[in-house]
Amino acid sequence: MNLSISSNDTKIPAPAGLSTSHIVGIFILVSAFVLGFPGNLFVAWTIIFRISKRSITCLLVLNLALADAFVLLTAPLFLRYLAGGQGWEFGNTVCKITHYVCCVNMYASIFLICVMSLDRYVAVFWPFASHHLRTRKSLVKILLVLWVLALLFSIPMPFYRRELTLPNIKVKLCHFSHENDRHEVFQYLMESLTGFIIPFSIIIFCYINVFSRLRRAMFQNKNQSSRIILLIIAAFVVFWMPYHIVNIIQVAGRLSQGQMKEQLLKAARTARPNVTAFAFFSSSVNPMLYVFAGSSYIRSAGLNFMTKLFEGTYSESSGSRRFSRSTRSTRSGSTDVSFSRKLSVFPVKFGKQDEYQDNISTKDDGVPNEKIVELKTLCTYDSKDIEESTRFDGECF
């Protein structure tokens, strides 16, 4: 990410002469920090301390909130950079680390949203086998892989960002530094492919198939989990797509020749500061989306409305699990009843109806009590075999 806010990406005006782009950037950063940092901490606090039973969606939202809160800690540094008029004052190491953290947040956010979409896909297409895949143990492994990938994919950022002094500029800047055009093309292309195009394609694939399956089944799934995930996806696309479009324009400019090259690069340089600040604001949006999604609970639950919202995602999960278990019990029970009815016919067929009737006693309250009759036939059928043959596992949540 490039958080330099200026038309030519090189000037840092004095506070008395802030440009429009600087004012817009400062406003976005202040709004993002004031709204997003306490908002994401409130989400994390609610999930950790107020919710005892957490769904998979709830745990993914927790990771997303922590990632957003962490990246918003860099906002004061960028505010000083823009408003101080003294350039970058925090040294080369902080320059690299700060932008590395921003890049990790970008990757972690889209990867978490991608996992949310895959979770919905698995729940819809493999409802009775999904409980083997969608467990706490599996989720921990997935989250570990997700964060490792985010850390690895962000490694190019500190190599292409350093503190430097450009010609005719007295102050130091935290600026991109590419050895040649190929390095610049590699960075922006990799960033957009792995951080947006490929994950977003997976998200689109999952939800197109999920909605298609539900529509064919004439079932409208409008639960809390789906609403929350769709809102998060929509927000990410709105705030991050412009940034990646500018990346593609800059790559196209570097690969072009002549006047087309100059026009594309100029367009990318002009748009990049604004779209980057806009993308940074995405870290503060999700808590506001949760307020919107849980607005129906605010009047009844007050500040506990978010607890009610996320508890709703777990109740949907547990409800689906109960439905799965009841379905299993119903099938198993119906098979046992059917088999017992067949057994009751054996004495009659073998001419032992009187013996069968003699084994029916009467309780004190007059209710018949049927004793178990062991049938001597050519084959025996163990009740355990019945249970094994009718047992199946699964849950949909």
Q: Residue 91 is inside which H or E element, if any?
A: helix 91-125
Give domain 15-293's CATH superfamily.
Rhodopsin 7-helix transmembrane proteins (1.20.1070.10)
For the chain, what percentages of helix, strand and coil (3-state, to nearest 5) are there?
75, 5, 20
Where are the alpha helices (H) located in 350-366, listed in sequence order?
353-358
The dihedrals phi and psi of 360, each to the nearest 5 degrees, come to: -100, 110
Is the separation of the CB atoms in 120 and 134 below 8 Å?
A: no
Count of residues in the chain: 397
pLDDT of residue 371: 45
pLDDT in tens, the chain (397 residues): 655 544 344 444 445 557 777 788 889 999 999 999 999 999 999 899 888 778 888 899 999 999 999 999 999 999 998 888 788 999 999 999 999 999 999 999 999 999 999 988 988 888 877 777 778 888 999 999 999 999 999 999 999 999 988 777 778 889 888 888 999 999 999 999 999 999 999 999 998 998 888 777 765 555 666 778 888 999 999 999 999 999 999 999 999 998 999 999 999 988 888 898 889 999 999 988 888 877 767 777 666 767 777 765 554 454 444 444 444 444 444 444 444 444 444 444 444 444 444 444 444 444 455 444 443 433 333 444 434 433 333 333 3
State how far the alpha carbon of 148 is from the alpha carbons of 47, 152, 264, 363, in Å: 23, 6, 34, 68
User: What pLDDT, in 10s, does the model give residues 172-217?
Assistant: 889 888 888 999 999 999 999 999 999 999 999 998 998 888 777 7
User: What pLDDT, in 10s, does the model give residues 62-96?
Assistant: 999 999 999 999 999 999 988 887 889 999 999 99
Tokens of 207: 């939800």
Q: What is the pTM of this model?
A: 0.74
Tokens of 180: 């040649």
Longest dimension (CA), the chain: 112
